[in-house]
Structure 1
Amino acid sequence: MFVCKRTRDLLKMARYKQTSFPEDDASSVGGIHLNEGTGSTGLHIRYHTARATINWRTRSKVEEGLLIVTLILSVIISALLIVIITSKSDKSGCILHIEPHIKANEVPCLNEHCIFAANEILRSIDRRIDPCDDFYAYACNNWIRNNPIPEGKSTWGTFGKLEQMNQLIIRNILEKPLKEYKSEAEKKAKIYYESCLDKEEEMEKLGAKPMVDLLWKIGGWNVTKSGFNIEKWNLAHTLKILQNKYNFNCLFAWAVGEDDKNSSRHAIQIDQGGLTLPTPDYYNNKTEIHRRVLDGYIEYMTKVCVLLGAVESDARRQMEAVIAFESKLANISMPLEERRNEEAMYHPMNLVDLEKIAPFLNWTEHFGDAMLLVNRRITQDEIVIVYAPDFLKKLSAIIIEMEKTIEGKITLNNYLVWQAVRTLTSCLSKPFRDAYKSVRKALMGSDGGEEIWRYCVADTNNVIGFAVGAIFVRQAFHGGSKPEAEQMINEIREAFKENLHNLTWMDRGTRERAIDKANAITDMIGFPDYILNPKELDKKYEDLKIVPNKYFENNIQVAMYNLRTNLEKLDQPVNKTHWGMTPQMVNAYYTPTKNQIVFPAGILQSPFYDTNNPKSLNFGAMGVVMGHELTHAFDDQGREYDKFGNIHRWWDNKSIERFNEKTECIERQYGNYKMNGRTLNGKQTLGENIADNGGLKAAYHAFLKSEATKDADILKLPGLNLTHKQLFFVSFAQVWCSSTTNETSILQMEKDAHAPSPYRVIGTLSNTFEFADAFNCKANSKMNQNKKCVVW
């Protein structure tokens, strides 16, 4: 869950959904953003279905009252029976503690919130499993049995279920008449949503025409009869059209973002990029799954070419050459685990020096052309931040060699245009969208196929998310959650700071500066205030052109709008209160250059957070999310940034050495875990594992110090012979209950900065002394290993 939003990760500024293949997205609360065809934002409520919601609304008030009474009485009776049964026998395999202030014969909490909370936990835990043996299985086995992966999905868990509930809320509003909207921006969201829904009819009529028309505009494609002329072709000219006009991602990634060493200013940032498949491994045929994906990819490319008028045999030959070129890019790309040293990745240089490193392109001219959109002049003295100079140097050598032959030039253009074509296939007729299913099946174990309205809600969120967020907040977010969430964050921050005094490996000066940084972390909760002001919201989207029934054209306009909006930031000061995530997202993030943590309204809901729940459940779920994001400020990457969000050496060298020793333990621990016959990458997941471990510890100690304010905080939950200390850990673990296809599991292990869900629970808790004490786990049991890795 919970990911740092790092400046480099925002280089993929193109709005395009890139539905063909998953893209990096560092705004995630958890896990990789695997593309389910919806733009889904999380992995992962244990709640009412849409059908139940609709049926409920059809009942009369009398019926509703009778049903409530009947439901509560039946649940109370069931709960009391469970209490009687479980008091006689407990099969959990460990001794369960009773808090000193709770009498053995005391009646449990029987209000409706306690009953429902207990019911959800009972439906998830597996009493046959010893919690000291495998706590993930203990907490989640029955959840997994009761929640099979839905048709069309490749992964399913708590996050996804809550997101689907949010989608239903948004759908109900987006389908209301235009007159009920409070701003023009919200009306644009509705129009875009309807253009997406209409694609089933409009796009079928148009077929390939929108893409064919675009091919003529961008200079044609050798694969089809669309105006390509090799005698007039020029790489720099084609790149200007594709990147600087239409905002397609190809060859390399670039955007305007915050300067890591001077976070108050923006700078042009350049990084490696250009791959279509998720990781370089997919081009190297390392495993059977990699081979199936690569075979599916060539089939997909060929089908799309034929749909655009190509001859199949010729299209296959030319697309195989494109794959061979992408394989070269894969071979010169730096693996994710080798890109964790932020300071080592940071290379400021002027454009003259960049042209010496990578002379395949006149960089001053290229960026100057882009900046014409915002009337900004670029000179050779412009300082840019390069994160992958070695990649650009090798890329330049490859391109210069290919430009020596006609066949090489044709392949380069075919590759560039393919990036535009595959990006927009989801905006075309059904045959284009179906062409992707086979490769998606190979890549993720599912060929998609969810309801069209869900796809369109998620897509509208991606396109005009803050307008949708205004709709969502008015409908679903309860303001009372905000002050209580702020109090919880402050309590967790205090617990984190207090623990710093217990760390013998950190010198006094570094500790004091770390406390200063923790105090300086700003938190933003719920939503940005401006979205509820129609004038301010309209101003944000005033340059975005959305028209009815033109889904393909709307996507073009969105990409161009996002490019222009990004470029406008170059000479603007950094807005430290800017939201990088929309309010409806079931997610959270930390931004090191802003030293800021953000918790959108979308995640401040049950099962993560409910003001009526016992604090043990709230701190175990949402509290750990908060602690996780806060700890990101002190993980192996976040610790390089000071309290102002600038990279520099603010730690004592001895403390750095000892910190690295501690993190090496974490890296080795997670690197020894295996799943589906594969070893996890402990280095790639290091930052998230540090945040998981530190966040859990801070949240737990904050919970212990929090004041009990209601019966639910004191009395046991019905049917659960668990103390509130134990409930904290159960609540934490059940956040990660999920199911995933084998293919998606492998993709996650290769691409994701997070460990798979089971090991986010097992790895973290096995390092936690407090967990072992709460469940009375014997020394050196599986969940209480003698060797523990502790950083914070």
Structure 2
Amino acid sequence: MASLIGEGREEDSDSSGAGFSLDTARLLWLRYGAVVSFLTLLLFAVGYGTSYLVRSYIFGCIDPGCMAPNAALERSLADVQGDPCEDFYGYVCGGGRGRTRAFPAISTKRDRFDARLQALQQKVATAAILSLVLEEGDSELPSQLVSRLFLRCAQIAFSQLDNLDELRSFLHRFHLSWPDPMPRSKLETLDVMVALSLDWGIPVLFQLSVDTYFKRRGYRILHLSASPYVTDWFTARNALRQKGTLRAYIERASLILNGLAPVQAQSGRGGCKMASIVLELDNHILTAVMPSLVDPHPDSDLLYLQIGQMEDTTTPYLSAGEWLKVINEHLPIELGMADEMFLTNRRLLRLVAVLVGSVGDTTALLAYVTWHVTRILAFASSFQLSHAEFADERGSDYATLGHIIGHCYSDANTVLPHAFSYVFNRRWLSKAIVGNATAMVNTIRDVAKATIKALSWMDDETKRHAVEKLTTLATIVGSPQSAADEGALRNLYPWLRYSKRFLRFKGSPSEEAGIPLTMVNAFYLPVYHVMILPAAILYPPFYVANYPDSYNFGALGHVVGHEITHTFDPEVGLYDRDGIRRDWWTPTARVMFESKLACLSGLYRDIPGSGGAAFGDRSLPENFADSGGMLKAYTAYRAAGRPSGGLPFGRHGLTDEQLFFAGSCFKWCSNEGGNSSSRYSPPRLRCNVPLLNMPEFAQAFECGAGKAMNPGTRCDSL
């Protein structure tokens, strides 16, 4: 066989006429293949390397989970020379030199820490936007509906489109015009605001919506509350006032809306004659409805009242019958005077009645409404109109682009929150992380129950109510079941779209609160009695996959404990599942509880570093949740009983105990100082005070007596 093959090779090679052997050909082909393979691999390497460099150094890592807290914390701890027993926030977050027991704000620029929440929110937003772009399609699937909603809006920004005719047409639907609105009666004026909110979801002065009827599970009820837009406008307005461009903005936008050249109108020259009237009315309204240092929680109690009882607040300006007549024009069924509604701001109800019914001419109010409807819809209708707000800034086009994209993102996330979270979660959130976080929630809840049962100062009746609140607490981790798949979303959204039709129809889920689930935050919603851990908070620095329990319980576990503690909040913890404020504490237990709150208030108020601000009083509900949540998280971590077996923060040799406390503080690292108007204490106090209130911290870091983080007096936490 071998000779035959050999002969065949010779004959084949001779027949070529070139004396070219197959062995030579094979060698050349091998060389050619090797060269091609090498060049192909080189091409792939260059392509991958280029894309990697672009991703890493231009766009950064898109996956919200790609942050490495170990590296960030290691950098933070690298040159710290301070004592964790004097200022643990400074120890964990950097800037250790020059630290004193007064807990000063970080002034060094050696380690610039962005606020962790903001940094993570940016990553989540980038990943969510990419998901929406990849989801684009023409079907009626909820995931593609929310994608189209965002992309069509974003096109306004990227293509600098101006659909002013559509905006004017929408205003004309309500007979609104700027700057000279048509005179209307008081009921016609009220009808405009009710229609905008109830029919179109555009809450100018107030928000009137259809909500869960907590007293009758499975039914719906009207809910009148403050407009979330007012808060957004309050922030933007203050920024414009500080720059001295508020009036110029209104005048400039007026020119654009009326089809004139978008020039920079100067204040007081050729401007809108209604600008002064609108600004004066704006001052009056914002003063009445916005929180202030004097009144940080203005009339925010949740209460039921029969529609006929509105008259107690709105007389003599608007009668209950007039309210009812207008509202019924926008419902498929007629409500009566005895039907209940849900109210969260009685002061606002009074304000609306005064504005609508106290004057014979509502032209000024209509101008105010027209202006704010225009601003609310500017991001979705006109680049020029949005640009008017930033025309006096450097880089105004980029500022406008960011403004529009941000509002498109928030609008899609608010209108279709469950579809939005579904699009995000299926690309970026693993089921394993959701499962681990859910197990953590259950462990901390069990610890909270055991803690309540073991309290010596709480009587049995109060304990029974407290344990019941913990047992009935609903939880949403990542996303609710209604966002589990496209089928569940299809079942959910027809109900949401036509919810007004079902004011007396059973079947609406009571736990499906419409909270955007890609916000880096966590929530306890009273009355709904549900704790929500959105998908966006299940990432570093709050939760790190494959990290020790000590870190994750310290970071995310503290957040969970914080929200669970809010079920006993001195302000919102008194609402029962029917939405009625009831004090379920016995008188004796109430006295004991308030004494412990007073101790905690004094601790925050008198602690070095408070700067004399009354954080102990104004921020008491959040301080209470921070301190109680820390104790629950620590107890749950110890109950889990799973030591790391290895430490991620190597050369500093942190033990598991120390890593728990480091994780609890690391999430607060920020360059921002305390905001005197915030309902939260500054990050430094949020880190330090709950820890110095725990003897376990002093033991973990061997803090001797007299150290700032090992005080002689501590307060009990629930």
Question: 1:95-106 to 2 correspondence within 5 Å?
Answer: none
Q: What displacement does 1:382 show?
A: 1.7
Whether the 8 Å CA contact 1:368–1:378 is kept in 2: the answer is no
**Could you tell me which of 219, 223, 226 is aligned with 2:179?**
223
Letter in structure 2 aligned against 1:437: F
* RMSD over equivalenced CA pairs, Å: 4.2
Q: What displacement does 1:682 show?
A: 4.1
**Could you tell me which of 518, 531, 542 is aligned with 1:608?**
542
Give a deviation string over 1:471-495, Cα, whole Å, max 9, x none: 2222222212233223222221232
Q: 1:186/1:486 Cα in 2 relative to 1: closer, same or farther (>3 Å)?
A: closer
Counterpart in the other structure of 1:513:
465
Question: 1:416-455 to 2 correspondence within 5 Å?
Answer: 416-437=369-390, 450=402
Letter in structure 1 aligned against 2:171: L
The reply to whether residue 377 of structure 1 matches residue 329 of structure 2 is: no
Q: 1:490/1:643 Cα in 2 relative to 1: closer, same or farther (>3 Å)?
A: farther
Counterpart in the other structure of 1:308:
257
**Could you tell me which of 696, 704, 712 is aligned with 2:638?**
704
- Provide the C-alpha distance between the structure 2 equivalents of 1:299 and 1:171, rounded to a whole number of angstroms: 33
Q: What displacement does 1:728 show?
A: 0.7
Moved more, 364-373 or 757-766: 364-373
The reply to whether residue 479 of structure 1 matches residue 431 of structure 2 is: yes
Give a deviation string over 1:621-672, Cα, whole Å, max 9, x none: 1111111111111111343135787542321012112212222333344456
Q: What displacement does 1:420 show?
A: 0.7
Question: 1:488-499 to 2 correspondence within 5 Å?
Answer: 488-499=440-451
- Provide the C-alpha distance between the structure 2 equivalents of 1:518 and 1:465, rounded to a whole number of angstroms: 26
Counterpart in the other structure of 1:133:
86
Q: 1:676/1:639 Cα in 2 relative to 1: closer, same or farther (>3 Å)?
A: closer
Q: 1:363/1:453 Cα in 2 relative to 1: closer, same or farther (>3 Å)?
A: same
- Provide the C-alpha distance between the structure 1 equivalents of 2:392 and 2:617, rounded to a whole number of angstroms: 29
Q: What displacement does 1:293 show?
A: 4.0
Whether the 8 Å CA contact 1:183–1:537 is kept in 2: the answer is no
Q: What displacement does 1:596 show?
A: 2.4
Letter in structure 2 aligned against 1:302: E
**Could you tell me which of 255, 262, 285 is aligned with 1:329?**
285
The reply to whether residue 173 of structure 1 matches residue 131 of structure 2 is: yes
The reply to whether residue 413 of structure 1 matches residue 366 of structure 2 is: yes
- Provide the C-alpha distance between the structure 2 equivalents of 1:501 and 1:613, rounded to a whole number of angstroms: 32
**Could you tell me which of 138, 142, 157 is aligned with 1:200?**
157
Q: What displacement does 1:378 show?
A: 1.2
The reply to whether residue 664 of structure 1 matches residue 601 of structure 2 is: no
Moved more, 181-190 or 193-202: 181-190
Letter in structure 2 aligned against 1:774: A
Q: What displacement does 1:146 show?
A: 7.7
Whether the 8 Å CA contact 2:554–2:662 is kept in 1: the answer is yes
Whether the 8 Å CA contact 1:624–1:696 is kept in 2: the answer is yes
Q: 1:542/1:252 Cα in 2 relative to 1: closer, same or farther (>3 Å)?
A: closer
The reply to whether residue 213 of structure 1 matches residue 137 of structure 2 is: no
Letter in structure 2 aligned against 1:318: M
- Provide the C-alpha distance between the structure 1 equivalents of 2:158 and 2:129, rounded to a whole number of angstroms: 20
Q: 1:434/1:697 Cα in 2 relative to 1: closer, same or farther (>3 Å)?
A: same
Give a deviation string over 1:91-144, Cα, whole Å, max 9, x none: xxxxxxxxxxxxxxxxxxxxxx9x965323212336223222222222123699
Counterpart in the other structure of 2:26:
none
- Provide the C-alpha distance between the structure 1 equivalents of 2:405 and 2:240, rounded to a whole number of angstroms: 33
- Provide the C-alpha distance between the structure 2 equivalents of 1:398 and 1:774, rounded to a whole number of angstroms: 60
- Provide the C-alpha distance between the structure 2 equivalents of 1:676 and 1:296, rounded to a whole number of angstroms: 35
Residue-pair matches, total? 639
Counterpart in the other structure of 2:650:
718
Whether the 8 Å CA contact 1:590–1:597 is kept in 2: the answer is yes
- Provide the C-alpha distance between the structure 1 equivalents of 2:377 and 2:425, rounded to a whole number of angstroms: 31
Letter in structure 1 aligned against 2:696: E
Counterpart in the other structure of 1:732:
664
TM-score w.r.t. the length of structure 1 is 0.70
- Provide the C-alpha distance between the structure 2 equivalents of 1:329 and 1:383, rounded to a whole number of angstroms: 27
Whether the 8 Å CA contact 2:518–2:534 is kept in 1: the answer is yes
Q: What displacement does 1:720 show?
A: 1.9
Q: What displacement does 1:780 show?
A: 4.1
Unaligned runs of 5+ in 2: 1-41, 53-64, 96-105
Whether the 8 Å CA contact 2:178–2:254 is kept in 1: the answer is no
Give a deviation string over 1:399-430, Cα, whole Å, max 9, x none: 443x14x4xx2211111222212212222433
Letter in structure 1 aligned against 2:377: L
Structure with more contact order per residue of length (Cα contacts < 8 Å, sep ≥ 6): 1
Whether the 8 Å CA contact 1:340–1:637 is kept in 2: the answer is no
Question: Does the residue aligned with 2:305 lie in a helix, a strand or coil?
Answer: strand
Moved more, 237-246 or 133-142: 237-246
Whether the 8 Å CA contact 2:195–2:330 is kept in 1: the answer is no
Counterpart in the other structure of 1:256:
210
Whether the 8 Å CA contact 1:218–1:238 is kept in 2: the answer is yes
The reply to whether residue 755 of structure 1 matches residue 692 of structure 2 is: no
Letter in structure 2 aligned against 1:694: G
- Provide the C-alpha distance between the structure 1 equivalents of 2:564 and 2:478, rounded to a whole number of angstroms: 17
Whether the 8 Å CA contact 1:616–1:725 is kept in 2: the answer is yes
- Provide the C-alpha distance between the structure 2 equivalents of 1:183 and 1:280, rounded to a whole number of angstroms: 37
Whether the 8 Å CA contact 1:779–1:786 is kept in 2: the answer is yes
Question: Does the residue aligned with 2:442 lie in a helix, a strand or coil?
Answer: helix
Give a deviation string over 1:286-322, Cα, whole Å, max 9, x none: xxx7994494433332322232238964755522222
Whether the 8 Å CA contact 2:211–2:220 is kept in 1: the answer is yes
Unaligned runs of 5+ in 1: 1-56, 68-112, 150-155, 284-288, 544-560
Counterpart in the other structure of 1:163:
121
Question: 1:462-611 to 2 correspondence within 5 Å?
Answer: 462-501=414-453, 503-541=455-493, 565=499, 568=502, 571-572=505-506, 575-611=509-545
Q: 1:644/1:439 Cα in 2 relative to 1: closer, same or farther (>3 Å)?
A: farther
Question: Does the residue aligned with 2:379 lie in a helix, a strand or coil?
Answer: helix
Question: Does the residue aligned with 1:204 lie in a helix, a strand or coil?
Answer: coil
Larger radius of gyration: 2
Whether the 8 Å CA contact 2:693–2:715 is kept in 1: the answer is yes
Whether the 8 Å CA contact 2:160–2:382 is kept in 1: the answer is yes
- Provide the C-alpha distance between the structure 2 equivalents of 1:476 and 1:701, rounded to a whole number of angstroms: 31
Whether the 8 Å CA contact 1:521–1:643 is kept in 2: the answer is no
Whether the 8 Å CA contact 2:157–2:401 is kept in 1: the answer is no
Question: Does the residue aligned with 1:719 lie in a helix, a strand or coil?
Answer: helix
- Provide the C-alpha distance between the structure 2 equivalents of 1:440 and 1:262, rounded to a whole number of angstroms: 52
Give a deviation string over 1:219-240, Cα, whole Å, max 9, x none: 233515xx63469994234334
Question: Does the residue aligned with 2:70 lie in a helix, a strand or coil?
Answer: helix
Q: 1:184/1:324 Cα in 2 relative to 1: closer, same or farther (>3 Å)?
A: same
Question: Does the residue aligned with 1:175 lie in a helix, a strand or coil?
Answer: helix
Counterpart in the other structure of 2:23:
none
The reply to whether residue 694 of structure 1 matches residue 619 of structure 2 is: no
The reply to whether residue 297 of structure 1 matches residue 246 of structure 2 is: yes
Counterpart in the other structure of 1:33:
none
Whether the 8 Å CA contact 2:604–2:610 is kept in 1: the answer is no
Identity among equivalent pairs (%): 22
- Provide the C-alpha distance between the structure 1 equivalents of 2:241 and 2:269, rounded to a whole number of angstroms: 20
- Provide the C-alpha distance between the structure 2 equivalents of 1:192 and 1:177, rounded to a whole number of angstroms: 11
Q: 1:277/1:628 Cα in 2 relative to 1: closer, same or farther (>3 Å)?
A: closer
Moved more, 365-374 or 597-606: 365-374
- Provide the C-alpha distance between the structure 2 equivalents of 1:761 and 1:505, rounded to a whole number of angstroms: 28
